Chains A and B, each alone.
Chain A
Amino acid sequence: MSTFKAKYLTLDKAVQALIWLFLIASCVLVLIPLAFMFTASTMPAIDILKLPYPWISDHFHWQNFWNAIRGPEGTFEFLRNTVNSLVVAISVSFFTVMLSSITGYGLAKFEFKGRNLVFMLIMATMMIPFETIMIPLYMVVTGMGMQDSYVGLIVPFVANAFGIFLMRQFLIPFPNEVLDAARIDGASEPRIFTQVVLPNAGPAIATLAIISFRAQWDNLLWPLLIVQSENMKTIPLYITKFMAETHSDEGIMMAVAVLASLPMFILFFTLSKYFVNTEGLHSSTKG
């Protein structure tokens, strides 16, 4: 058998070389903008706009990072906005995980009349892209007086059909005997959920938590609609404002870019297993 495998894997030397060349070339092309961001973040602005671009500068201009954090007026607005982004992203991802797992558990392990209808209704919301309801949603949220607040930034994203689907699929194979044993021991249903089901849903929870954290860290459109005051701004809004200011220093701009990406890079390198989730995708194709 192994000879077949070897044959299958052996390509013409020339073809193989071309494939490697293509992969390395595309890899370099894809990584250039990232390399640009990292190198430019440590350069004074004069160096960044030099022709040609000096990939390695003589001056290591670490002040960019300090200036990025301090802000042009020394208000440390960047920090304030980072805290906002963290509060929103962490809360959304926490509440999404809780709500999705409790709903997914209800749909996976409880027989009740109308269960399929409930499931279909929830799945139907996947057909409603956020972009098409943002204007009425904006009016709902302002009508409830939640504009310009953490609540308004968090609550509309907590019910997440994909998350519910993910948790339901994950919990369906969970052994019923374990649940029944806990019931016989006299554990209440909420207790079974928090002490038996949740601790066993780790991988699905991690995947979902990261997906929702990223979505909110990246969310521009919604804060753009409902945030008015400076101190409720999130990082995407901070960067937008920063870009619109014409006299921004390019080095500081890239330092802001690096700092704003830091949480994502940390997650990416520590939890890459859950970061790129194709399992959820493939299970969703299987319906």
Chain B
Amino acid sequence: MRKRGFSMEQKKARWGWIFVTPALILFSIFSFYPIFTAFYTSFYNKNLLSLRPPRYIGWANYQYLFTSQEFRESVINTAVFTAGTFVPLVVFSLILAAFIMSINKFQRFFQMAFYAPAVLSSVVAALIWLLIFDPRGIANQGLNTMLGTSGVNYHWLSKAGMLRLSTIIVYFWKYIGYFTIVFVSGIGSIPYTLHEAALIDGTNRWQNFWYITFPLLKPTTLLVSVMALIQCLKTFSTQYLFSSSGAPTRPINVITLNIYNTAIKDYRIGRASAMSILLFLVMFLFTWLQLKVSKTEEVTYM
């Protein structure tokens, strides 16, 4: 029997293409095309509802953003939220992970307990905290008990500073468990023989953590930091829900919320695209950093 002129390799190559093509088509439509459109649209004056063709305006959208008070505020809001969330997240998840690994019982229980808030969706989390931060809610009660005051309202959802703190608390609460588990598995992957060698050399427990565990955790720490940072830059739900349920929008008007409102409420697609591109560039920088960091800092322990 004569076979067609395809070798096994050619046949396999053809099947390889067949298997990857559907994904490539979907990515082209739903990832590559939109990001190019965003670049393109950011140079146009485009209105969502208007039927007139969009007008080319060069850098005007970007120029507007750099002089706009509102945009500057939302950059500051995002920066404050990101710095205020990711630093405590990294520090506390490292501490919690180190503590969990130092006890010899209930390790799994603590990991699961800290992770529990991550099980909820962000909308549900915001809903719960909205009641907790209510003037009559348990946040005020708890703080009053702790500070020994009575009946003081700390304005969790109305004063600018407190409102920002509130969004930070919600985020911190939701993600602390996840990053703790990442650190736990990072610490767990350090071979015990390294600790053993150090103990033979006569180090104490603290030196052991500081000179062995901590330096070897550097890649994990960097990875967690960048991941947390990127996650915080993208924050939307908490701010959106707090503001749509009556809290003042200005202090928590983060970039994503600003993009959403500019496009959907003001119909200014060009301006929203310019904001998206700026956000994209910042996040691209951090993602690139993450990839670079995770490649160069890779450690093999043996």
Contacts and interface: CB of A to CB of B under 8 A. Distances in A.
Contacts of A125: 27, 31-32
A206 interface: no
B134 A133 contact: no
Interface residues of A, number: 98
Contacts of B121: 217-218, 235-236, 260-261, 264
Give the size category of B's interface with A: 35 or more
Interface in A129-181: 129-140, 155-156, 158-159, 161, 164
Which of B16, B22, B110, B241 has the largest number of chain A CB atoms within 10 A?
Answer: B16
Nearest to B125: A33
B30 A137 contact: yes
B90 to A, nearest CB: 15
B176 A30 contact: yes
Contacts of B114: 26-27, 30
Given A34-B117, A132-B276, A240-B241, A26 B96 contact: yes
Interface in A58-113: 99-100, 102-103, 105-107, 110-113
Given A129-B230, A135-B276, A253-B127, A159 B30 contact: yes
Contact of A286 (B12, B34, B113, B298): B298
A99 B19 CA distance: 9
Given A49-B137, A106-B15, 19 more contacts: A7-B199, A30-B176, A52-B141, A53-B138, A118-B20, A128-B35, A131-B234, A133-B38, A140-B33, A140-B34, A161-B27, A220-B236, A220-B241, A236-B121, A236-B123, A244-B245, A257-B120, A257-B124, A264-B119
Interface stretch (B60-68, B81-89, B277-285): B277-285
Contact of B100 (A23, A103, A118): A23
Interface string A6-24: 0111010000100110110
A92 B32 CA distance: 20
B116 A139 contact: no
A201 interface: no
Interface in A186-213: 189, 193
Nearest to B264: A225
B128 A33 contact: yes
